Amino acid sequence: MSAITIAIDGHSSCGKSTLAKELARELGYVYVDTGAMYRAATLFCIEHGWLGEGVWREDELLAHLSELNVWFKKEEGTVVQHVMLGDRDVTDRIRTMEVSRFVSQVSTCVPLREKLVKLQREMGKDKGIVMDGRDIGTVVFPDAEVKIFMTASVEERARRRFLEIKKREPDTTIESVLENIRERDRIDSERKVNPLRQPEDAHVLDNTHMNREEQFLLALSWARGAGA
Q: To 10 degrees, what angle do helices 16-27 and 212-225 make? A: 50
Alpha-carbon distance of 48 to 113, in angstroms, equals 19
Q: Are 109 and 45 contacting, i.e. CB atoms less than 8 angstroms apart?
A: no
User: Domains in the chain: how many in total?
Assistant: 1
CATH of the domain at 24: 3.40.50.300
pTM comes to 0.92
The domain containing residue 114 runs over which residues? 5-225
pLDDT the model gives residue 100: 93
On average, the pLDDT of the chain sits at 95
Question: pLDDT for 114-152, tens place per residue?
Answer: 999 999 999 999 999 999 999 999 999 999 999 999 999
- Mean local confidence (pLDDT), 74-99: 92
Q: Are 131 and 146 contacting, i.e. CB atoms less than 8 angstroms apart?
A: no
- Mean local confidence (pLDDT), 60-83: 92
